[in-house]
Amino acid sequence: MGKRTSLQDTLKHVSAELLLVNYQLRAEAAECDPSVLDEFRDALDTIRLTSWTVCELAKAKGKGADPRAAQKFLATERLRRLEKMVKDICDDLDISSTARPENMESLLEILAVLQSRLNGEAASVSKEPIIR
C-alpha cells in the first residue's frame, strides 16, 4: 500500500496543476468541449467555496473566535454573492428579453425554497442539486 498524501501536499500539487490548466486554457480554449468546461467550472466553484469556508472557520478558530460568528459571516457573504448573481441574471434578461434560460423552472423552485426558509418556514430541498 502506498504512502498516503497529506491534504496540505495535495492542495499544493493541485494549485500548481491549476496554474498549468490556466495556461493551457488561454492557449487552447478553442479546442475545448464546452460541456467539459462547464463541468470544470462547476467543480472549481464548489471547491472554491468549500476552501474559502474552511479557511474562514480555521481563521476564526485560530483567533479563539466563536465558530458560530464565523458561520454567520459566511452565510452573510453567500447571501451577498447570491444577490449579485440575481442582479446579474436580471441584467442578462433585460439585455436579451427573448432568450429564456433553460433551467428557469428549477431556478424558480430553489428560489421558492429559499424564500420559505428566509420566512422561517420549513421547506425541504432535494439532496440532488437542482441547478446544474
Across the range 105-130, mean pLDDT stands at: 74
Check residue 63 and report its DSSP letter: T
pLDDT > 70? residue 36: yes
Question: What is this structure's pTM?
Answer: 0.55
Pair 52, 70: CB distance under 8 Å: no
69 vs 82: which has the higher pLDDT: 82
pLDDT band at 21 (very low <50, low <70, confident <90, very high): very high
> Residue 2: what are its φ and ψ, rounded to 5°?
-75, 165
Across the range 65-93, mean pLDDT stands at: 82
62 vs 113: which has the higher pLDDT: 113
